[in-house]
Amino acid sequence: MVPTRKGLYGLYAITDSRWCPPDRLDLLAELIRAAISGGAAIIQLREKSLSDQDLEPAARLLKEICQQHGRLFIINDRVELAAKIKAHGVHIGKDDIDFHQARKLIRDGIVGVSCYNSLELAKRFQDLGADYVAFGSIFPSPTKPDAVRADLQLLSEARSVLNIPICAIGGITEENIHRVAAAGADMAAVISGLWDCHEITARARSLADAMKNRRE
């Protein structure tokens, strides 16, 4: 078993069906392995359209790959599926399952929470027992163009008052990830900035190195 909370740092790779189709398991596995080879520390399976039953084969595959490489595997929103396959944790947002219900089902695993641009919300979830909080969209996001915007100053403020890991998300690329690291984020969640390229391993290495440099 991967030591869970100790792995909450670095490049946090989030799947998107445009680049990581969950129904094409061979391709999905190839992409995830490439990202891990480049240094991705955490993999999140995010898919809004399929049922839990249809998504389960992809979830089990990614969990197995992450286990093999000592990486964390998180599932977005689908707490029951995460509990069923014993994923390392879940990530929930404002429209997902209640935090207390999530913690009840994921007792010993990770529960991360989106806090958008609210430090007060992050403090509340820290007090409730969240393992990490996420802020964003830090930059304009091609994945969620209408997302609530946060800023780098919020990351710095959060770093000064929170005792749990902080994740930044939204529009993070090779060109701006160093700003996220400098502001104090422990993790940088990346979607298009990772997958929308031809050399996944090289891109992951560039992103992961930027976050690694913050820790050194």
Structure tokens, 102: 């999530």
46 is an active site residue: yes
Give 68-71 contacts, CB < 8 A, sequence gap 24+.
69/33, 69/36, 70/2, 71/2, 71/7, 71/36, 71/40, 71/41, 71/42, 71/43
Catalytic residue selected from 86, 144, 149, 179? 144
Q: Which residue has the tokens 């770093």?
A: 159
Catalytic residue selected from 78, 103, 114, 141? 114
124 is an active site residue: no
Other CB atoms within 10 A of residue 164 CB: 18
| Cα–Cα distances in angstroms (integers) from residue 188 to residues 13, 59, 123, 193, in the given order | 8, 22, 20, 11
144 is an active site residue: yes
**Cα angle vertex 50, ends 36, 22, to 5°?**
30
Cα distance between residue 195 and residue 59, in whole Å:
18
**Cα angle vertex 135, ends 93, 88, to 5°?**
55
Catalytic residues: 46, 114, 144
